[in-house]
């Protein structure tokens, strides 16, 4: 005869290990993995500190994304300790997790004992739907999405690189996007600058970009800086941003940005493009090299095609800009291995990606020193490059 | 013969090639061989004193030769040198 529900529960509980909330409270301080197997609304109303959410109905399909190593110590809980008992049996008997336990009495007993409950900030139903494909990626999930929504990312330039970066970061739900650009949309931009449009030729790029961003995701707060970045305004503009995306088209600004971002300890995701070639690296101050560690000084004008107008494959800034957007998301969410200390070289014609190492220069004029020792007048100190470019024609 | 990857800004100096071969026991010799075959690269790679210009990075495979033995770094036939000047285009 088949067992009753109550009998089945007794059987299951006899086959698994249970753990008292008092022990869980101690283990949480030691960093044990705690999984909440309740439904989404229950988790949103409050959960154990640091608990990850894997609803019981998705346990088999999603647990490996959250706990890839089967020898990890895992504690499951639910409201009263029943659903988590079934879940623990599944993990132990069917998926081979070696150290899995179910918390006795669930979060109800946990609260009765007076232990702390963390109430997560919740997403609106519209946000849940919009970002649902992020929620399904274990490395991002609701916590990662919340970090994206809280993030402030500054884009230097709404041109070739800035266009795709801005669109995808807006789509990904980055809460605040600052855009610095003093230019207006020109017909010759539209071969690659996909954030603008034929109807918006002649209007400022920051306004055009804002329109496209809001059409894609009205939640994004766009902060517009219709100006050229220089030594007098850079600190004021970049201060307070979490990540800066460097898509500028000239060396003086790249060096200026480097020096200011090192002083303010803001990571910069940097890319450059020319013809069919692209370069990308992430400069995270004091954790990896800075731009001056990579290129101590700029090349002379004849080796610096950025001085004048040069050709570029229209698709290339798309490729490089989206690699930048990917690095931004990784930095914000805190996942993967950002390209810190590495320079990626993309050759579109050959369809090859080459990687070289970039080391911190112990004699770097900027990042070998403490940030507070880098003075205002030192930011972006540079040969008189604009005069040099002008002289070179 | 080692392989040298030529960056876009130097390609005009080597007849438009993306990769060329050059011989030499070490990085300095390989680059000098390149400069003798393609004289236009000489002033772009080396200063008047014969040092590698500070704005040009050279990698042996994936490692910056400045953290190896610089121009004296030994080069084998199967090695690739990557020449890399800074690039700033973004628009």
Report the residue from B54, B59, B88 with minimal CB separation from A356.
B59
- Higher pLDDT pick, A303 / A188: A188
Residues A87, A95 contacting (CB under 8 angstroms): no
- Quote the pLDDT of residue A88: 97
Q: What is the CATH number of the domain that holds B12?
A: 3.10.20.30
- Quote the pLDDT of residue B89: 63
Q: What percent of chain A has pLDDT over 70?
A: 95
Indicate whether A389 pLDDT > 60: no
Does any CB of chain A come closer than 8 Å to the CB of residue B69? no
Report the residue from A274, A297, A354 with minimal CB separation from B87.
A274
Of the candidates A33, A51, A32, the one whose C-alpha atom is nearest the C-alpha of residue A117 is A51
* Total tally of structural domains belonging to chain B: 1
For residue B54, tell me if it sits in a domain: yes
Does any CB of chain B come closer than 8 Å to the CB of residue A295? yes
For residue B77, tell me if it sits in a domain: yes
Instruction: Count Cα neighbours of A79 within 13 Å in the Cβ-side half-sphere.
Output: 8
What pLDDT, in 10s, does the model give residues A46-82?
999 999 999 999 999 999 999 999 999 999 999 999 9
Residues A15, A91 contacting (CB under 8 angstroms): no
A:B CB pairs within 8 Å: 105
- Quote the pLDDT of residue A73: 95
What pLDDT, in 10s, does the model give residues B60-82?
999 999 999 999 999 999 999 99
Indicate whether A308 pLDDT > 80: no
Q: How far apart (Å, rounded) are the C-alpha atoms in residues A360 and A165?
A: 27
For residue B38, tell me if it sits in a domain: yes
| Cβ pair A356:B90 closer than 8 A | no
For residue B90, tell me if it sits in a domain: no
- Quote the pLDDT of residue A364: 93
Does any CB of chain B come closer than 8 Å to the CB of residue A345? yes
Does any CB of chain B come closer than 8 Å to the CB of residue A357? yes
Give the chain A residue whose CA is nearest to the CA of B91: A160
Question: Rounded to whole angstroms, what are the CA distances from A146 to A40, A86, B66?
Answer: 15, 30, 43
For residue B15, tell me if it sits in a domain: yes
DSSP for chain B?
Answer: -EEEEPPHHHHGGGTT-SEEEE--SBHHHHHHHHHHHSGGGHHHHB-TTSPBPTTEEEEETTEEGGGTTGGG-B--TT-EEEEEE------
| Cβ pair A160:B91 closer than 8 A | yes
What pLDDT, in 10s, does the model give residues A113-122?
999 999 877 8
- Quote the pLDDT of residue A303: 66
Q: Which domain holds residue B19?
A: 2-85
Does any CB of chain A come closer than 8 Å to the CB of residue B87? yes
Residues A359, A293 contacting (CB under 8 angstroms): yes
pTM for this model (two decimals): 0.78
Residues A347, A277 contacting (CB under 8 angstroms): yes
Which of A129-143, B16-30, B39-53 has the lowest average pLDDT? B39-53
Angle of the A316-333 helix axis to the A141-150 helix axis, nearest 10: 110
- Quote the pLDDT of residue B91: 59
- Quote the pLDDT of residue A393: 41
For residue B91, tell me if it sits in a domain: no
DSSP state, A129? Answer: H
Give the chain A residue whose CA is nearest to the CA of B67: A359
| Cβ pair B55:A299 closer than 8 A | yes
- Quote the pLDDT of residue A392: 45
């Amino acid at each position: 005869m088949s067992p009753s529900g109550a009998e089945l529960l007794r059987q299951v509980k006899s086959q698994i290990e249970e753990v008292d909330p008092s022990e869980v409270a101690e283990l949480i301080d030691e960093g044990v993995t705690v999984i909440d197997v309740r439904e989404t609304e229950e988790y949103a109303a409050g959960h154990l500190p640091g608990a990850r959410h894997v609803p019981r109905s998705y346990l088999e399909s999603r647990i490996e994304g959250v706990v890839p190593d089967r020898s990890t110590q895992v504690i499951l809980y639910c409201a009263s300790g029943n659903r988590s008992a079934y879940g623990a049996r599944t993990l132990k008997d069917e998926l081979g997790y070696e150290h899995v336990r179910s918390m006795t009495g669930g979060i109800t007993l946990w609260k009765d004992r007076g232990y702390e409950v963390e109430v997560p900030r919740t997403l609106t139903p519209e946000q849940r739907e919009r970002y649902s494909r992020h929620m399904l990626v274990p490395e991002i999930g609701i916590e990662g999405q919340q970090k994206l929504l809280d993030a402030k990312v500054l884009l230097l330039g709404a041109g070739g690189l800035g266009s795709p970066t801005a669109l995808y970061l807006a789509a990904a739900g980055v809460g605040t996007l600052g855009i610095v650009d003093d230019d207006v949309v020109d017909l010759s931009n539209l071969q690659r600058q996909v954030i603008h449009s034929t109807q918006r030729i002649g209007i400022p790029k920051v306004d055009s970009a804002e329109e496209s961003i809001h059409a894609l995701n009205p939640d994004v707060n766009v902060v517009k800086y219709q100006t050229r970045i220089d030594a007098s305004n850079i600190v004021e503009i970049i201060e307070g941003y979490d990540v800066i995306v460097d898509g500028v088209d000239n060396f003086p600004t790249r060096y200026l940005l480097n020096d200011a971002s090192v002083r303010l300890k803001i990571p910069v995701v940097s890319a450059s493009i020319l013809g069919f070639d692209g370069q990308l690296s992430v400069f995270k101050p004091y954790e990896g090299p800075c731009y001056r560690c990579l290129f101590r000084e700029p090349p002379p004008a004849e080796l610096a095609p950025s001085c004048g107008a040069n050709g570029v494959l229209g698709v290339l800034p798309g490729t490089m800009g989206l690699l930048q957007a990917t690095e931004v998301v990784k930095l914000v969410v805190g996942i993967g291995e950002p390209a810190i200390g590495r320079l990626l070289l993309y050759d579109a014609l050959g369809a090859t990606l080459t990687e070289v190492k970039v080391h911190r220069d112990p004699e770097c004029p900027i990042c070998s020193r403490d940030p507070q020792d880098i003075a205002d007048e030192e930011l972006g100190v540079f040969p008189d490059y604009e005069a040099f470019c002008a002289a070179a024609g | 013969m080692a392989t040298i990857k030529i960056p876009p800004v130097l390609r005009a100096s080597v007849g438009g090639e993306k990769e060329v071969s050059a011989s030499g026991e070490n990085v300095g010799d390989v680059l000098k061989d390149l400069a003798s075959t393609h004289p236009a690269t000489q002033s772009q790679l080396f200063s008047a004193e014969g040092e590698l210009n500070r704005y040009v990075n050279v990698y042996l495979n994936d490692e910056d030769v400045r953290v190896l033995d610089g121009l004296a770094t030994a080069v084998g036939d199967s090695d690739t040198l990557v020449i890399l000047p800074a690039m700033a285009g973004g628009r």
